[in-house]
Structure 1
């Protein structure tokens, strides 16, 4: 296997939370530094406002990036929601959806392994944010169809994928 050289410039990179906060400020998105290793923000998606949270774990070299589309899963819909989660996560290349047991909140989670250097480039920061928003936008209708529309998980996913394919 051949290894490609990366076009990597350390002076263009920053601590993960600092880089994400700078990106949010540059785009005019509200954000707050919770600590030097955590930030929160909010972005308008196609379907809803999404709360974003980044948590840096320097001891592991991992940046956990969360996107919460403000969807709560009620007890009576939990089984269908978990079935839909399995179907949705099969479609994912990066990250996954989950339901937090604390508050029954749906969320998208992606762990980015930044390695020993622990730095984040602007391109990677943008990719993290954009992929989280894109995935939440892509599957938001499916969760709505199951939780409020009464569709089966399979039918909800099919309907959401048809709707997404039809958007221009």
Structure 2
């Protein structure tokens, strides 16, 4: 896989948006460019397709990866959803889950610092995407249990973690 990606961008490191575009292309994932410093696409996870966005802030040397599992939270569900978010985020080592105030959409966000030269490696790009999808897959059932299954946030997380532990 890495050889094919290297052929697409010419080396192991490159401009972040070029590296991500090459990775999407090599994997056959649909890709949309929204601006010079923003792109997105769709990736199939274990449960649903996730919308993935990458936003580059070159002045800060940060690439933010946003993964949207297509979960909207109603006003009535906000308090238990926030309680579940805090429990879930205790389990997450990289990035965090949040609910965007506009549209009350669940998101996973991870801001990655780039090297001093602003470049991103293929392995970094792949790890960022895999981590985002893995975390969304890992906690998607908890949000399902809490928001649609009427479980308490604690019970939803416990049930999701038991289910995830049982998968191989």
TM-score by length of 2: 0.93
Using the alignment, how far apart are the partners of 1:67 and 1:101 within structure 2?
A: 16
User: Deviation at 1:11?
Assistant: 4.2
Classify the secondary structure of the residue corresponding to 1:72. coil
User: Deviation at 1:132?
Assistant: 0.2
- Which range moves more in the overlay, 115-124 or 10-19? 10-19
Are the equivalent residues in 2 in contact too, given 1:43–1:50 (CA < 8 A)? yes
Instruction: Give CA deviations for 1:70-129 in whole Å, capped at 9, x if unaligned.
Output: 000001110000000000000011000000001100000000000321111010000000
Aligned match of 1:80:
80
Are the equivalent residues in 2 in contact too, given 1:62–1:115 (CA < 8 A)? no
Instruction: Give CA deviations for 1:12-58 in whole Å, capped at 9, x if unaligned.
Output: 21111111111001100001111221101000100001000000000
Aligned match of 2:69:
69
- Which range moves more in the overlay, 135-144 or 16-25? 16-25
Provide structure 1 residue ranges, at least 5 long, that are not aligned to the other structure. 1-9
Aligned match of 2:18:
18
- Where has structure 1 moved over 6 Å in runs of 4 or more? none
Using the alignment, how far apart are the partners of 1:11 and 1:40 within structure 2?
A: 22
Using the alignment, how far apart are the partners of 1:63 and 1:51 within structure 2?
A: 16
Using the alignment, how far apart are the partners of 1:29 and 1:84 within structure 2?
A: 31
Aligned match of 2:152:
152
Are the equivalent residues in 2 in contact too, given 1:21–1:33 (CA < 8 A)? no
Following superposition of structure 1 onto structure 2, how do residues 48-127 of structure 1 map, counting pairs within 5 Å?
A: 48-127=48-127
Aligned match of 1:37:
37
Aligned match of 1:137:
137
- The count of aligned residue pairs is 159
Provide structure 2 residue ranges, at least 5 long, that are not aligned to the other structure. 1-9
